[in-house]
Structure 1
Amino acid sequence: MNQNRGINQDVTQEMNRSLLLKSLRREGVCSRAHLAALTGLKQATVTNIMKDFLNWGIVKEIGFLNGSKGRRSIGLSINPDGYRVMGVRLARKHYSVGLFDLTGKQIVKERVDFELEKQPGAEEILNQIVGRMRLMIQQYGKDSVLAAGLAVPGPFIAKKSRIALITGADIWKDIELKAFFNRELDIPVFLEHNANAGAYAHMWELKEAYHDDILVYIAAGQGIGAGIVMNGKIYEGALGTSGEIGHMTIDRNGKPCACGNRGCLERYASSLELVKTVYGERAGMDGCKFEDLEQRIKSGDTIGTEHYRRACESLGVGIINIINVINPDRIIIGDDMARPNPELMEQTVRETVQKGILPDVWEELTLSISEYQGDPILTGAAIVAIDRVFDCPGQFIKN
């Protein structure tokens, strides 16, 4: 009985620690008294836990705050100079590795691009990623880096920690990513679908706003995925493969897809397909890449812009299906396809969607192009790691 009481106390303490860290993160700066009022915890509990956090270096005091009736209290915030996490983004044609503090701010980032036709093998790419992660860990202190988040394209079967399919990159099929990183690194690595990672980054930026919204973040890049947020949490589905809208049929007699279906959304609205449509057999060659096409569109090139508009129209058709199934409050579109002409994308998608859904539904929907600074999928991968640390801080920080 006494042993069970001790276990329950430990669990309760860790839950309280997590609640306080996440509340402090959302508030940015606040006093112990405000945290107590915000969380419903006793002030003595807050004081004791904050004492631990200060000793660990995960929280810092930042001077005095003015309170009610002229009272002053000591301000607290997450310590950006204490611990670090890593974010890793794996994409079809590149990968990125970044180091972040516990507020989600990027400290350093490295990106490596490779040609799809000359893509290294999966093992070589993973060894490169691990090598760069080790160098960053050594450079910034191995004891300060607590965990890493890895954002991967899909379909990603979360419950099996492996990628089921990446169109045009079969090297990733059935690779046990979790087992590889567990074997090669001394820090825990948490895997997440890239669209879900992007949703995490926008949730982080929106703070409390997403709690009352059903939010869908659409990562329209080399593939197309959706991160679906309900009740402040990512909706994953039975196997963790929800949000694979790239393999949603928008034309049942359309182009064949590597998944075995026909007319999949990503065959009409992804950056890879846009490049193929514009450049044909020259796609991927020097001067025939998405970055070059992006510049053409930004410069007003007629042919490139028209193909881009059609791709945005197709994306709008896919979004109509999402709206009819999920009925979200808010849709945010981001990643590569949002870059060439955000205004044209928003206009085209809005016009397409408005025609295809009920007026009452349209009136209650907020649809926008992401204005996130930096790479939300890479940052979101780091936030996945931060969130895990904040869930159980006592398990990550050696005290």
Structure 2
Amino acid sequence: MNQNRGINQDVTQEMNRSLLLKSLRREGVCSRAHLASLTGLKQATVTNIMKDFLNWGIVKEVGFLNGSKGRRSIGVSINPDGYRVIGVRLARKHYSVGLFDLTGKQIVKERVDFEPEKQPGAEEILNQIVGRMRLLIQQYGKDSVLAAGLAVPGPFIAKKSRIALITGADIWKDIELKAFFEREMDIPVFLEHNANAGAYAHMWDLKEAYHDDILVYIAAGQGIGAGIVMNGRIYEGALGTSGEIGHMTIDRNGKPCACGNRGCLERYASSLELVKTVYGQRAGMEGCNFEDLEQQIRSGDTAYTEHYRRACESLGVGIINIVNVINPDRIIIGDDMARPNPELMEKTVRETVQKGILPDVFDELTLSISTYQGDPILTGAAIVAIDRVFDSPGQFIQN
């Protein structure tokens, strides 16, 4: 920021609005006095801004709270019935579209899976997504749906708003997603890498308890990515491609990858690769997809379970590299690969990681399988939009 320039009063007011909304979101329900204490703002400032929020319908009063010395005050919270955002998740073999309130609660969701060997082209998929977004806006009112978030696989070049590569889905290479949605939608659409979106959802779920931790969320699904949270913020890197662990080399002489490398992690530990390993040429055909494989593992089939265990072991090798480079406090593993046998995955990954890092580092590392209810990547896409709304609430609501 240019230190020789002052800050416009309108900008200051918007910053204060943002601070109050984000504090209120974390607290859930609290009094105006408590918000003033949390944020360091004068109580008169908080009262005036809350008056605007109540008039806009973005917050609501929720009855009396008992304070210190027996004093009672009126509580306020984010209004779940006021405004909405849309969350969209784009994956290799499906997409999901959902509507969320400003607390991050899902209202409706629709998932569309592509038929094996009949995947539509990129433009057709995007037009389908836009059609479903427009329908939600029509159903819930164009004035109440403020923005949308879109979670995409990677490598995603965030600074250029385009996907550089999706292995096994060349249709997305160099598609200008931002330009497409700016042209087709009347609400702003914010793009984010799917692993980062999943990390956002878990960060919201953990709230302030781990605000100062380094959190890594690993989306181990059809591809593999990592969302890295440092001091409450996503670490993106120079171009926004950080966390592309799916293309981390774990075997220099290993399987070739579409990225041009060999031995990439996702060639050994992704759900698509596990299906190919188990079913061979029949992979993706009826009765030979990941859902079928998941059922076999859950039923205790020893051969399928051993393939799964080896994939988890490979994932553990990738996590060793993450730990040695970043030294996170907490790693959470989620998405497709975490579903078939969470206990076996955690045990295998933990044992693999323990062998590959220093004992002192392992002792301080919290490693777990996600227990998030619902799809954290879809919810995280919505949270990306909510965060942008909370950054500039006046701009979104008054406009």
What TM-score do you get using the length of structure 1 for normalisation? Answer: 0.98
- Give a deviation string over 1:334-353, Cα, whole Å, max 9, x none: 00000000000000000000
Deviation, 1:398, is 2.1
| Counterpart mapping for 1:363-382 below 5 A | 363-382=363-382
Deviation, 1:136, is 0.8
Give yes or no for contact 2:212–2:232 (8 Å, CA) kept in 1: yes
Gaps of at least 5 residues in structure 1 are: none
Question: How far apart are residue 211 of structure 1 and its match?
Answer: 1.8
Distance 2:252 2:242 in 1: 21
Between stretches 115-124 and 144-153, larger displacement belongs to 115-124
Query: CA offset at residue 115 of structure 1?
Result: 3.2
- CA displacement at 1:231 relative to structure 2: 1.1
Task: Pick closer, same or farther for the CA change 1:301–1:394 going to 2, 3 Å.
Answer: same
Other-structure match for 1:217: 217
**What is the Cα deviation at residue 254 of structure 1?**
0.1
Deviations 1:296-333 (A, max 9, x none): 00000111100000000000000000000000000000
| 8 Å contact from structure 2 (residues 215, 329) kept in 1 | yes
Aligned residues of 2:158 and 2:240 also touching (Cα < 8 A): yes
Q: 2-side partners of 1:3 and 1:269: how far apart?
A: 49
Q: 8 Å contact 1:228–1:243 — kept in the other structure?
A: yes
Aligned to 1:360: 360
SS at match of 2:30: coil
* Conservation of the 8 A alpha-carbon contact between 1:200 and 1:384: yes
Q: Is the 8 A contact 1:275 1:288 kept in 2?
A: yes
| 2: CA distance, partners of 1:379 / 1:318 | 26
Output the aligned Cα RMSD: 1.9
1:297–1:51 Cα change, 3 Å: same
Question: 2:80 & 2:380 partners in 1: Cα distance?
Answer: 17
- 2:322 maps to what in 1? 322
Q: Deviation string for 1:22-81 (max 9, x for gaps)?
A: 000000000000000000000000000000000000000010001111110000000000
Q: 1:2 to 1:153 in 2, by over 3 A?
A: closer
SS of 2:165's partner is coil
TM-score for the superposition, normalised by structure 2: 0.98
Q: CA deviation at 1:7?
A: 5.9
**8 A Cα contact 1:92 1:116, kept in partner:** no
1:3 is displaced (CA, Å) by 17
Deviations 1:216-256 (CA, angstroms, capped at 9, x unpaired):
00000000000000111000000000000000000000000
Checking the alignment, whether the CA contact within 8 Å between 1:346 and 1:368 is kept in structure 2 is: yes
Give the Cα–Cα distance (whole angstroms) in 2 for the partners of residues 246 and 5 of structure 1.
Answer: 44
Q: What runs of 5+ residues in structure 2 fail to find an aligned partner? A: none
Equivalent residues of 1:150, 1:189 under 8 A apart: yes
Alignment partners' CA distance in 2, 1:52 and 1:2: 30
Would you say the 8 A contact 1:115–1:284 is kept in 2? no
Deviation at 1:209, TM superposition (A): 2.2
Aligned residues of 1:64 and 1:74 also touching (Cα < 8 A): yes
Residue-by-residue CA offset, 1:136-162 (whole Å, 9 max, x unaligned) = 110111110000000000000000000
Counterparts of 2:4 and 2:358, CA distance in 1: 55
- Give identity over the alignment, percent: 94
| Structure 1 residue 116: Cα displacement | 5.0
**Aligned pair in 2 of structure 1 residues 355, 176: CA closer, same or farther (>3 Å)?**
same
SS in 1 for 2:211: helix
Distance 1:202 1:376 in 2: 7
Q: Which moved more, 1:73-82 or 1:116-125?
A: 116-125
**Residue by residue, what CA displacement relative to the aligned partner does 1:93-113 show, whole Å, maximum 9, x if unpaired?**
000000000000000000000
| Native 8 Å contact 2:283 2:289 kept in 1 | yes
Does the 8 A contact of 1:316 with 1:352 survive in 2? yes
Deviation at 1:5, TM superposition (A): 9.6
In structure 2, do the counterparts of structure 1 residues 3 and 302 end up closer, same or farther at CA, with 3 Å as the change threshold?
closer
CA gap 1:342/1:3 in 2 versus in 1, 3 angstroms:
closer
Given that 1:216 and 1:331 are in contact with CA atoms closer than 8 Å, whether structure 2 keeps it comes out as yes
Partner of 1:36: 36
CA distance in 1, matches of 2:247, 2:4: 48
> Which residue of structure 1 lines up, in the alignment, with residue 69 of structure 2?
69
- Once residues 7 and 217 of structure 1 are traced to their aligned partners in structure 2, the CA distance between those partners, rounded to angstroms, is 37
Q: Superposed, which structure 2 residues align to 1:250-399 within 5 Å?
A: 250-398=250-398
Q: Residue 272 and residue 362 in structure 1: after superposition, are their counterparts in 2 closer, same or farther (change >3 A)?
A: same
> Closer, same or farther in 2 for the Cα pair 1:4/1:330, shift >3 Å?
closer
Q: What is the CA-CA distance between 1:4 and the residue it aligns to?
A: 11
Q: String of CA shifts for 1:261-292, please: whole Å, max 9, x gaps.
A: 00000000000000000000000000000000
Instruction: Check conservation: 1:225, 1:246, Cα contact below 8 A.
Output: yes
Q: Distance in 1 between matches of 2:339 and 2:345?
A: 9
CA deviations 1:154-198 (Å, max 9, x no partner) are 000000000000001000000000000010010000000000000
Determine if contact 1:99/1:106 at 8 Å carries over to the other structure: yes
Determine if contact 2:116/2:285 at 8 Å carries over to the other structure. no
Is the Cα contact below 8 Å between 1:249 and 1:263 reproduced in 2? Answer: yes
Name the count of aligned residue pairs. 399
Q: Is the 8 A contact 2:61 2:75 kept in 1?
A: yes
Instruction: State the Cα deviation string for residues 81-101 of structure 1 (Å, max 9, x = none).
Output: 000000000000000000000
Contact 1:57 1:79 in 2 (8 A): yes
219-228 vs 204-213, which moves further: 204-213
